[in-house]
Chain A
Amino acid sequence: MEYFIQQLVNGLTLGSIYSLIAIGYTMVYGIIGMINFAHGDIFMLGGFAALITFLMLTSVFVGLPVVILVLIMIAAAMLTASLWNWTIEKVAYRPLRGSFRLAPLITAIGMSIAISNFIQVTQGPRNKPIPPLVSSVYNIFGIAISLKQLIIMLLTVILLATFWYIVNKTSLGRAQRATEQDRKMAALLGIDVDRTISVTFIMGAGLAAVAGTMYLMYYGVTVFTDGFIPGVKAFTAAVLGGIGSLPGAVLGGLLIGLIESLWSAYFTIDYKDVATFSILAIVLIFKPSGILGRPEVEKV
């Protein structure tokens, strides 16, 4: 039993990270109907930005409190990733809007390769370690919960709540939802559609960057290929939950995290990715729109 709960905690931690990335996929899909395959690399880039910030800060200010250090790392990662995603949307995706459906998709794959190669060339191809910043581990009824895990889960909850508030209760969120549902009508009501789409890319990148920083701290290492597997997993999470649905992305992320750690714990770790993707296939066979996705039927 303790072993099971232990694996639940591990799964939820991993799932939190996937959820944060999955939101970026699902939002961009919702608003312009494309899969931004470069999103996983934006996540990786966020991790690198955090790492570089860490190295710079610790070499200049020795003995900076860890809380401040981590906050600055997160802020720097969010800023860098947002700037990149904003630029990519502007130069690579926007000119292709209104072109045939595959064009932006192929471009996104191109951007994904471009970002990971850029990091490979500028930062080197080897694993980049980061020393453990928070290492306390609490033992609660025989279950080991690290401070890192608590921080990751708490931060995810805070970010999701903020995000939910923005999307559902502010005029920016309303403009985003209106643009998603009927871009032409939104423009007729004075909404700057291009700007709204830009903001969506910025928000998605911000969440992915936090996830990137958390991922770096959790595993203590990052490498230029790190955007791929977590990126595909988060994409799977978005599809599993129902692409285009925000609660779906969160649910999908948590499920993928749980499946992965429970499978590794009870079966074999080598087949954890096989398990994850098999479950995706099974869900899509029986419910093609995903768990919380809406079927494409609408009353006119």
Chain B
Amino acid sequence: MSDTLLSVQSVETYYGNIRALAGVNIDVKKGEIVSLIGANGAGKSTLMMTICGSPQARAGTVTFDGEDITRLPTHLIARRRIAQSPEGRRIFPRMTVYENLQMGASLDNLKYFNEDVEKIYTLFPRLKERQAQRGGTLSGGEQQMLSIGRALMARPKLLLLDEPSLGLAPLIVTQIFDAIKALNQEQGLTVFLVEQNAFAALKRSNRAYVMVNGQVTMSGSGKELLANPEVRAAYLEGGRH
């Protein structure tokens, strides 16, 4: 039993006949922050969803905490405490902010809800102001906060974040990344995130992977990749933060 929490091995995912992931290998160890960077259409979000079994991998295995979860239905994967803030945020539009957060806590049947919701409100005071408002009426940035907050309500062992900085003001991006870093250091929360904002992500990650056309082409520590000329040219220059 190693300290590997999530292991993705030779995973291939298809949409119809189109191969979106072509043999991806990724490991995330307990307590790490790992980021995945790459251009649009590289398959980053597909990988996030494949980990959660929606769609399921056609080949390869996904192992979580020593258990093969490749063929488990999505809701059972979620019950292993993998929470995701997915691409497009996927807020329930006709439920209030409060109800969206309650949905996040459905695994424990709201047992720790009151305690946890205060933490989320401390993290994102904006959500508290908006708690009686319907999810669909929030701004993009507020929805992003809600999506991350909802994922955290599940008390995850592994938090998957798909572009947490999308649509947020730079100040709030910094705030969110700092919050993630704090959760990681204080509670040992393991985080695997996809980012377009490569600089912010790499700076705070232990390790990172670069994805191109459904394959991992490079990996290394966050610092190494930040210094790598190819990575700089493709993902950082001009995208200064």
Which A residues form the contact surface with B (CB < 8 A)?
A: 171, 174-175, 177-178, 181-182, 184-193, 298-300
Q: Are A185 and B104 in contact (CB under 8 A)?
A: no
Q: In the complex, A186 Cα to B88 Cα: how many Å? A: 14
**B19 on interface, CB distance cutoff 8 Å:** no
Beta-carbon contacts under 8 Å, B79-100 to A: 79, 83-84, 86, 88, 90, 92-95, 99
Q: In the complex, A55 Cα to B61 Cα: how many Å? A: 59
Chain B nearest Cβ from A157, distance in angstroms: 25
Q: Are B92 and A191 in contact (CB under 8 A)?
A: no
**B109 on interface, CB distance cutoff 8 Å:** yes
Chain B residues whose CB sits within 8 angstroms of the CB of A171 once the complex forms: 102, 106, 109-110
Stretch at the interface among B31-39, B70-78, B232-240: B70-78
Chain B residues whose CB sits within 8 angstroms of the CB of A189 once the complex forms: 78, 83, 103-104, 106-107, 150, 154
Chain B nearest Cβ from A199, distance in angstroms: 14
Which B residues form the contact surface with A (CB < 8 A)?
A: 52, 54, 73-75, 78-79, 83-84, 86, 88, 90, 92-95, 99, 102-104, 106-107, 109-110, 136-137, 150, 154
Kindly report which residue of chain B lies nearest to residue A192, judged by CB atoms.
Answer: B75
Q: In the complex, A133 Cα to B75 Cα: how many Å? A: 48
Given A174-B95, A177-B92, A191-B106 contact (CB < 8 Å): yes
Chain B residues whose CB sits within 8 angstroms of the CB of A178 once the complex forms: 92, 95, 103
Chain A residues whose CB sits within 8 angstroms of the CB of B54 once the complex forms: 184, 187-188
Chain B nearest Cβ from A170, distance in angstroms: 11
Besides A189-B106, A189-B150, 17 other A-B contacts (C-beta < 8 A): A171-B106, A171-B109, A171-B110, A174-B106, A175-B103, A178-B103, A182-B92, A187-B74, A187-B75, A188-B54, A188-B83, A188-B90, A189-B103, A190-B75, A191-B75, A192-B75, A299-B137
Q: In the complex, A190 Cα to B102 Cα: how many Å? A: 12
Most buried by B among A187, A189, A193: A189
Kindly report which residue of chain A lies nearest to residue B52, judged by CB atoms.
Answer: A188
Q: Are A190 and B90 in contact (CB under 8 A)?
A: no
Q: In the complex, A175 Cα to B84 Cα: how many Å? A: 17
